[in-house]
A and B are shown apart, each in its own frame.
Chain A
Amino acid sequence: MKNVPGTSGLIMNEPLLWEKGKKGRKGMSIPAADVPQVEMVSTLKGAGPDFPDLSEVDIVRHYTRLSQWNFGVDTGMYPLGSCTMKYNPKTNEKQAATPAIGAAHPMLDDEYVQGTLKIMYDLQQYLQAITGMPAATLQPSAGAQGELTGMLIFDAYHRSKGSKRTKILIPDTAHGTNPASAALCGYKPVPVASNADGVLDVESVAALMDEETAGIMVTNPNTLGLFESNIRAVAEIVHAKGGLVYGDGANMNAIMGIVDISKCGVDVMHLNLHKTFSTPHGGGGPGAGPVCVVEKLKKFLPVPHVLKEGETYRLDWNNPDSIGRVHGYHGNYGVLVRAYSYILSMGAANLKKASQLAVLNANYIKEKLRKALHLPYDQPCMHECVFSDAKQHELKVSTLDIAKRLIDYGYHPPTIYFPLVVPGAIMIEPTETECKEDIDQFIETILLILEEAKTNPELLHSAPVRTKLKRLDETLAARKPCLCG
């Protein structure tokens, strides 16, 4: 096969930091003391940590080599389902590093920091416009903390009505963070099975919803990549029993400018700025998980909340009904600036176009691979499509093998073995920033791998072979944990 991105290259070895260096080296120029040295009280004084001493060149080479063992969106296609690995624009990085913003101390009086407050206020307005919701907070640091914020708002709302509810409905397709976040509020998650079409049935929600139940957490589009078309009816049932509807916005990238969240009956929703709004994932974070709410829940949002009065921005600390702070300051502010830059760069028409193209790319992949891979839910998909390895079982080839072989060809594998309702799931989310040639090449590569599965399955079992390391022993890592060098 021609033109696969992955080829072998020179891979440098590099030891651990403390396996190199010499005592007395320094990688930083520390200013000379211009004041008298004052000793620390001897009873409090310690010896200082045992860190390796390295020069600037030692460190630059070390991390440059490490980076070359890594793969990011800038390296190649990263169709990791549910993670929206779209291109992370370079200008966003520049804007977040604007000197006056980068140097802004978070505890100064409002009059000194009008610019940083304006960005917060405007971003709140933009996220409200994108979701159709009337109020928002930017404080949550990631999606899961957004969920926790939402669940605390549920709890505060029910308490304001004089009741403490104990259960929460969560579809079986949900991310693990949903039940974990709900459990922090003392809610017992009650699983709701999705129907044969992969979406929620009105009847199954009606059968489970009662006045002990705080509400429902719905990811829409769901993790099968399907729009929950009964969402309004589901919301009506939940509302009729006094409950609230939480929208997990992890998959917002499918529906910007297309769906009005407030019209779906959703009361609280978080957005993942590190997914939909193009901020980089940083190999694990930081993210940002702003939460949007309907009018009646606005008073429960975290404090302080930024307000605009005339042409002046102000932090409002006085909200007796607020659930309180979820972050020490104003959330992952630098991430907020990146998302703000993205929204301003895109504008309304391009955000909608992004969702349309994300959905087009996913449907195109679904059509092109449906013969070769088992498609458990044959529905028009949104921004991602979910296959399984059912057709490969007889070849003794698994989802994991296919994923690992993709690495040899220069692709990051899709999300695998999730959602849990599909055994051996392969969840592909191409995003809108992949062009047609690259998607065609990816499809061709998958088909090639599925051919290899028939002719030489050992190629898949032993993959990857072109990386610095071959398959890693995860069992050993867990059985004899070595977490510190």
Chain B
Amino acid sequence: MRYLPHTQEEIAEMLAEVGKESLNDLFSTIPDDCRMEGDIDLPPSMTEWELDAHMAQIGASMRVTPQHKVLVGAGSYHHYIPEMIRALASRSEFLTAYTPYQPEMAQGTLQGIYEYQTLTARLLGMDVANASIYDGGAALAEALLMGLRINKKCKKVAVSKGIHPHHRQVVRTYLQATDFEIVELPLGEDGRTDLASLAEYSDLAAVALQSPNFLGVIEDLQAAGEKIHETGALFVTSFTEPLAFGLLKNPGECGADIVCGEGQSMGLARSFGGPGLGMFACKDKFTRNMPGRLVGETVDKDGKRGFVLTLATREQHIRREKATSNICSNQGICAMMAGMFMATLGGTGLRELAQLNHSKAEYLKSELRKAGAEIVFDSPTFNEFLVRFPSDFKPVYKQLFDNGIVAGIEVGRYYPQYKGCYLFCATETVGKGDIDAVVQEVRR
């Protein structure tokens, strides 16, 4: 096997050195009744070329192909990814390094993550961003736990039903063994979170809204923030499409205390949902309550600028059960890639790309409307929106799929009141021709 370098002679020499007769003798401390009988039941080993063929076959069994135009977002977006990001992230000095515990031989990772933290903080309008959480779901759970730590006396958090339903499920999972309570805030007719019920609660540690929300609607974060702060709760905002902040007011401007979300849009492939990137940021005054790793600037012995992991006394390897989170491994290389992507676009490019996404989605929206479909919410949207068709859309969906277009996803599983409605997304990867083809099929 090409990954196992030992020759028979070397094995013999090394065994002699350690005073053992055979490789099996190395395991003398393992009791007989713990041992595996026979061989592991696995397929025979494959050569590199057999593996290529096997994976090609699996790839070919996918009915959705890379050639499909996927007009679906719902938390996982198709954006163009410049080849240089793949090339740079594949540099094995980055890819095959561990967590930068020895800063003198990890300045590349450390400066890169410091840059990611900085660009993330600027994107979200916050003071501090961490080095990443696993994904948008875990980031939201961590944000709410952080809110509960800060507002210690409160045992309750509220989450909007506009938050990605899977992320809300992760929150429920994380909190289920605690005595904390989760209340859900309904969506109004306009697709925005209805905050009227907030008045019923006086003991909320944090209230979370997603914007743009799962159904594509941009929340009025500024107004929501004011109402939430009146209750004494922390204002948490989440997102699944960070590109939107190229065009929209950022959450910091709208008064958010903690901002978290899924960063897959920032240069990561959809890859069946992972690895993604939990982006996480907050106001300065909450830094010491943050979960996850932080990179900070310092100097070396000669006074030269350098970077290290810092404020580790919040973390599990020092604090153990009193840590702000159990997280250890995070999404390192994904955060590096997001940093690369943000740098690649720059301020100018991000603005242009965000505007293009918005225009594409608005074109799709207006053409569908002309074709007789109902756009469920009048509220402003970014690159996603919910559509109700006058008749069963499933046959049209299937026809379009066969024509190479994935026309939205049906949301009834998550929102029974919108059963039969489809959530559409149009990014820069969708051409006018693709949109016209969808509309033509709808008209048929």
Give every chain A residue within 8 A of B178 (Cβ-Cβ): 184-186
Give A118-141 interface residues, CB cut-off 8 Å to B: 118-119, 126, 129-130, 132, 141
A73 to B93, CA, bound (A): 8
Q: Which of B36, B44, B58 contacts A347 (CB 8 A)?
A: B44
Say whether A238 faces chain B, with CB atoms less than 8 Å apart: no
Q: Is B60 positioned at the interface, with any CB of A under 8 Å from its CB? A: yes
* Contact residues in A for B174 (Cβ distance below 8 Å): 148, 184, 326
Given A226-B29, A285-B331, A483-B295, residue A113 in contact with residue B272 (CB < 8 A): yes
**Distance to closest chain B CB from A214 (angstroms):** 10
Q: Across the interface, do B1 and A68 meet the contact criterion of CB distance under 8 Å?
A: no
- Chain B residue nearest to A303 in the complex (CB): B169
Binds A, one of B193-201, B225-233, B350-358: B350-358
Q: Quick check: B349 and A351 within 8 Å, CB to CB?
A: no
The reply to whether the CB of A162 lies closer than 8 angstroms to some CB of chain B is no
Contact of A260 among B20, B36, B272, B347 (CB under 8 A): B36
By a CB distance below 8 angstroms, the chain A residues around B339 are 17
Q: Give the residues in chain A near B46, CB-CB below 8 Å.
A: 344-345, 347
Chain A residues positioned under 8 Å from B307 (CB to CB) = 472
Min CB distance, B309 to chain A, in Å? 8
Enumerate chain B residues within 8 angstroms of A68, measured Cβ to Cβ. Answer: 93, 108
- A148 with B1, Cβ < 8 A, contacts A27-B349, A184-B174, A478-B311 known: no
Query: Given contacts A26-B346, A328-B262, is CB(A45)–CB(B248) below 8 Å?
Result: yes
Counting contact residues on chain A (CB < 8 A from B), the size range is 35 or more
Q: Which residue of B is nearest A462, CB measured? A: B301
State A168–B253 Cα separation when bound (angstroms). Answer: 44
Give Cα A28 to B20, complex, Å. 59
Chain B residues near A367 (CB-CB < 8 A): 17-19
**Shortest Cβ gap from B139 to chain A (Å):** 9
Q: Which of B17, B176, B347, B360 is the one whose CB lies under 8 Å from A364?
A: B17
Those of A197-219 within 8 Å (CB) of chain B: none
B238-257 interface code vs A (CB 8 A; 1 in, 0 out): 00000001111110010000
Report B334-353 residues with CB < 8 Å from chain A CB: 334-336, 339-340, 342-353
Q: Give the shortest distance, in Å, between B380 (CB) and chain A (any CB).
A: 5
Tell me the smallest distance from the CB of B374 to a CB of chain A, in Å: 19
A474-B4 contact in complex given A30-B349, A106-B273, A189-B320, C-beta closer than 8 Å: no
Contacts of A357 in B (CB 8 A): 4, 6, 11, 23
Count B interface residues, CB 8 Å.
207
Task: Answer yes or no: B132 CB below 8 A from chain A CBs.
Answer: yes
Bound-complex Cα distance A415 to B1 (A): 28
Q: Tell me if B297 is interfacial: C-beta within 8 Å of chain A.
A: yes
Q: Is the CB of A328 within 8 A of B118?
A: no
Q: Known: A118-B58, A483-B295. Is A50-B122 also a contact (CB below 8 A)?
A: yes
Q: How far, in angstroms, from A35 to B362 measured CA to CA in the complex? A: 9
Using known A-B contacts A38-B362, A281-B332, A334-B271, determine if residue A107 contacts B97 with beta carbons closer than 8 Å: no
Complex CA distance for A17 and B345, rounded to whole angstroms = 12
Docked complex: B44-67 residues within 8 A CB-CB of A: 44-46, 48, 51-52, 54-56, 58-66
> Which residues does chain B contribute within 8 Å of A473, judged by CB atoms?
298-301
B138 touches A145 (CB 8 A): yes
Q: Report which of B93, B135, B271, B353 forms a contact with A96, defined as CB distance below 8 A.
A: B271
A477 to B132 alpha-carbon distance, docked (Å): 19
A282 at the interface (CB under 8 A from B): yes
Residues from 178 to 204 in A contacting B, C-beta threshold 8 Å: 179-186, 188-189
A75, B98: Cα distance in complex, Å: 12
Q: State the Cβ distance, B247 to closest chain A Cβ, in Å.
A: 5
Using known A-B contacts A341-B51, A344-B43, A407-B104, determine if residue A38 contacts B62 with beta carbons closer than 8 Å: no
How far is it, in angstroms, between the C-alpha of A49 and the C-alpha of B249 when the chains are bound? 9
Asked if A320 is an interface residue, CB under 8 A from chain B, the answer is no
**B326 x A148 contact (CB < 8 A):** yes
> Is B333 in contact with A258, judged by CB distance below 8 angstroms?
no
- Is A105 on the interface with B (CB-CB < 8 A)? yes
Contact B306 A49 (CB under 8 A): no
B104 partner residues in chain A, CB cutoff 8 A: 404, 407, 464, 467-472
**Binary interface profile of A, 55-98, with partner B (CB < 8 Å = 1, else 0)?**
01001101110111111111100101001011111010111111
Other-chain residue from B61, B78, B122, B321 in contact with A49 (beta carbon distance below 8 A): B122
Which residues of B sit under 8 angstroms from A283, Cβ to Cβ?
94-95, 97-100, 106, 108-109, 112-113, 332-333, 336
B84 on the interface (CB 8 Å rule)? Answer: yes
Instruction: Spot the interface stretch: A291-299, A387-395, A431-439, A451-459.
Output: A431-439
B383-405 at interface with A (beta carbon < 8 Å): 401
For the complex, give the distance between the alpha carbons of A217 and B26 in Å: 25
Cβ-defined contact, A46 with B310, below 8 A: no
Q: Given A24-B348, A45-B247, A485-B115: A436 and B14 within 8 A (CB)?
A: yes
A360 on the interface (CB 8 Å rule)? yes
B259 within 8 A of A: no
**CB-nearest residue of chain B to A475:** B298
Check B4 against A72 for contact (C-beta < 8 Å): no
Check if B439 is an interface residue, CB within 8 A of chain A.
no
**Which B residues lie within 8 Å of A483 (CB)?**
114, 117, 128-129, 287, 294-297, 310-311
In the bound complex, what is the Cα–Cα distance between A51 and B119 (angstroms)? Answer: 7
Evaluate contact between B76 and A286: CB separation under 8 angstroms.
no
Chain A residues lying within 8 Å of B21, measured Cβ to Cβ, are: none
B-side contacts of A107, CB under 8 Å: 72, 74-76, 273, 409
B344 near A54 (CB under 8 angstroms)? yes
Known: A18-B118, A472-B298, A483-B310. A105 touches B406 (CB 8 A): yes
Option from A14, A89, A105, A143 in Cβ contact (under 8 Å) with B70:
A105
Chain A residues near B362: list those with CB within 8 A.
35, 38
Indicate whether A40 reaches chain B with its CB closer than 8 angstroms: yes
* B40 and A112 contact, CB distance less than 8 A: no
Partner pick for A25 among B138, B346, B431, CB 8 A cutoff: B346
Residues of A within 8 A of B177 (CB): 151-152, 155, 184-186
Question: Which residues of chain A are near B443, meaning CB under 8 Å?
Answer: none
- Pick the contact of B41 from A34, A75, A348, A462 — CB < 8 Å? A348
Check A33–B406 contact: CB distance below 8 A: no
Find out whether the CB atom of A282 lies under 8 angstroms from the CB atom of B332: yes
Nearest A residue (CB) for B48: A91
If A107-B409, A189-B320 touch, whether A333 touches B274 (CB-CB below 8 Å) is: yes
Are A328's CB and B17's CB within 8 A?
A: no
Residue A102, interface by CB 8 Å: yes
Residues of chain A within 8 A (CB-CB) of B270 are 102-106
Within 154-202 of B, Cβ neighbours of A (below 8 Å) are at 164, 166-167, 169-170, 172-174, 176-179
A349 interfacial contact with B, CB 8 Å:
yes
CA distance A404 to B105 in the complex (A): 10
B345 and A26 form a contact (CB under 8 A) = yes
Residue of A nearest to B68 (CB): A103
Q: Which residues of A272-303 are within 8 A (CB) of B?
A: 274, 278, 280-287, 302
Contact A485 B297 (CB under 8 A): yes
Q: Return chain B residues, CB-CB under 8 Å to A281.
A: 96-99, 329, 332
Contact status B31-A328, CB under 8 Å? no
- A434 contacts B329, C-beta separation under 8 Å: no
Partner of A66, one of B42, B63, B76, B108: B108
By Cβ-Cβ distance, the 7 closest A-B pairs, closest first, are A329-B273, A347-B45, A284-B332, A106-B273, A282-B333, A72-B96, A70-B108
Given A68-B108, A366-B18, 20 more A-B residue pairs with CB atoms under 8 Å apart are A21-B346, A26-B348, A38-B358, A69-B106, A70-B106, A72-B92, A74-B96, A91-B52, A103-B78, A129-B41, A258-B30, A284-B99, A328-B166, A329-B75, A329-B76, A347-B44, A368-B17, A476-B299, A478-B296, A483-B295
7 contacts between A and B (CB under 8 A): A49-B250, A104-B271, A282-B332, A344-B43, A407-B102, A481-B311, A484-B127
